[in-house]
Amino acid sequence: MSFSARDTKAYRDDEQSGHRKLGVQQREELVKNYLPAAPNRARSNSRNRKDTGHFGLRKFLKSQLYVFLYFFVHAVFSIYLRIRVAYRVVANQILSILKYHHNTPDYIRRDVSTLSRLPRHVSVILTLEEGGRGVDVLEKLINEVTEVAAWCASAGIPRLSIYEKTGILKKYMPQTHRALSRKLKTWFARHQGPVLSLSTRGETAIQTPSRDHFAQDQQTLEVILISEDDGREAMVDLTRVLAEMAQKGRISASDITLDVIDNELAEAVMPEPNLLISFEPYVDLQGYPPWQIRLTEIYCSPDNQGVGYQVFLRALRKYAQATFKLGK
C-alpha cells in the first residue's frame, strides 16, 4: 500500500521541524494505517503444531530406516568375513596336511619341481612381537628366520633377505648364525648342507667354512639382515659420498646415473629381490627400503596369521605364474 500525498506531506513537515508538529500518538496513528494486519495467533500455533508433528514423524521414520540399513550392512559384512576366515583356515589346515615338509628337503624339492621358475632372491618381512618376555620373543623371531632359511635352501633359492623393522637381529648376528647352522644340519646331512653366509650392512659377513673336499657342487645360501634404517641411511650415505666426490672433481654430475645409484645401493645394502613375502594378513611393508622393491613381486595371504610353509609355497606358485611387463 502506497502512502497518500497528505500523509506523506504531514510526515515530512514533522521531520523537518524536528518532530515538534506531531506528537508520538499522532505519528503512530499516521503509520498504523499502512501496517499489515496482525496474524491470528491461535490459527498460526495450530498450523505449526500440525506441521511439526507431520515432519517429525517423517524424520523419525527416515532415521530408523538409516539405522536399520547400517546394522544390516554390518551384519552381512560380518557374516561374510567370518565365512571367509573359516574357509581359509580350513583350506590352510588341509594344505598343511597334504603339503607338509616334515623337515625334509626332498619334500620341498618335490613341491617346487612343477614350477616353471623360481626366484633367485627371496625377501620376507618378519615382525618382532610386542609384549611378552624379551628372550622368548627374540627366540621366536630367530626360529622363524631359521625356518624360512631352511625352506629356501631346500627349494634351491640361493639368497634370502630378512627384513625386521627394529633391526634387533643385527645385534645378535653370532647367535642367529649358530641357530641357522643348527637348523640346516638337522635338515640336511652333515656334509650336504649349504654353505651359509650371514651378512648385514656395515658389518663383516659370518660364513661357515667351505667343504669343497666333500662336494664340488655344494649349494650356498646367503642370508642378509636388513631393517628400516638401511633404506634411509644408505641413501643419505650414498648422497654424501657422491656429493663429496663431485666437489673434489673425481666425478662429474653427468656420471651420476640411475645405474650407478642402483649398483652402489646393491653393494651397500643388497640387490633387489625377485619376490617379497609378507606373512601378515594384509600388505604392510613396515618401512621396507623403497629402492630395493621397485620391480619386486609382492605377495601376502589375506587372513593369515603367523609364518607358515603354506604361505611360502603359495608365494612361489604365484611368482611362477606372474607376468612381468617392463616399460622401455
Between CA 88 and CA 101 the distance in angstroms is 20
Question: pLDDT averaged over the chain?
Answer: 83
The pTM score is 0.71
Digit-coded pLDDT (tens) for 229-279: 887 788 888 888 888 888 888 888 788 888 888 888 888 788 899 999 999
Q: Are residues 70 and 156 in the same domain?
A: no
**Joined grid coordinates for residue 57:** 514423524
Task: Return the SS3 of 225.
Answer: strand
User: pLDDT > 70: what percent of the chain?
Assistant: 88
For the chain, what is the domain count? 3
Alpha helix (H) residue ranges in the chain: 5-16, 24-32, 41-98, 105-112, 134-155, 173-187, 229-247, 258-268, 309-321
Q: Are both 147 and 75 inside the same structural domain?
A: no
Q: Does 234 share its domain with 136?
A: yes
Q: Is residue 79 domain-shared with residue 221, that is, in the same domain? A: no
Please check the confidence at residue 222 and state whether its pLDDT lies above 50: yes
User: How large is the average pLDDT for residues 286-304?
Assistant: 86
Category of 308 on φ-ψ map: left (φ > 0), alpha (ψ -120 to 50) or beta: beta
**Domain range holding 235?**
103-321
Kindly state whether residues 151 and 27 are assigned to the same domain.
no
CB 270, CB 199: distance < 8 Å: no
Give the C-alpha separation, 273 to 295, whole Å.
8
Nearest to 122 by CA among 198, 234, 222: 222
Q: Length of the chain in residues, anyone?
A: 328
Q: What is the C-alpha to C-alpha distance for residues 272 and 266, in angstroms, rounded to an integer? A: 7
**Are residue 65 and residue 161 in the same domain, yes or no?**
no
Sorting pLDDT into bands at 50, 70 and 90, what band is 134?
low
User: Are residues 62 and 160 both part of a single domain?
Assistant: no
The verdict on 30 and 55 lying in the same domain is: no
One domain for residues 164 and 305 = yes
Backbone angles phi, psi at 200, to 5 degrees: -155, 165
**Higher-confidence position of 114 and 85:** 114
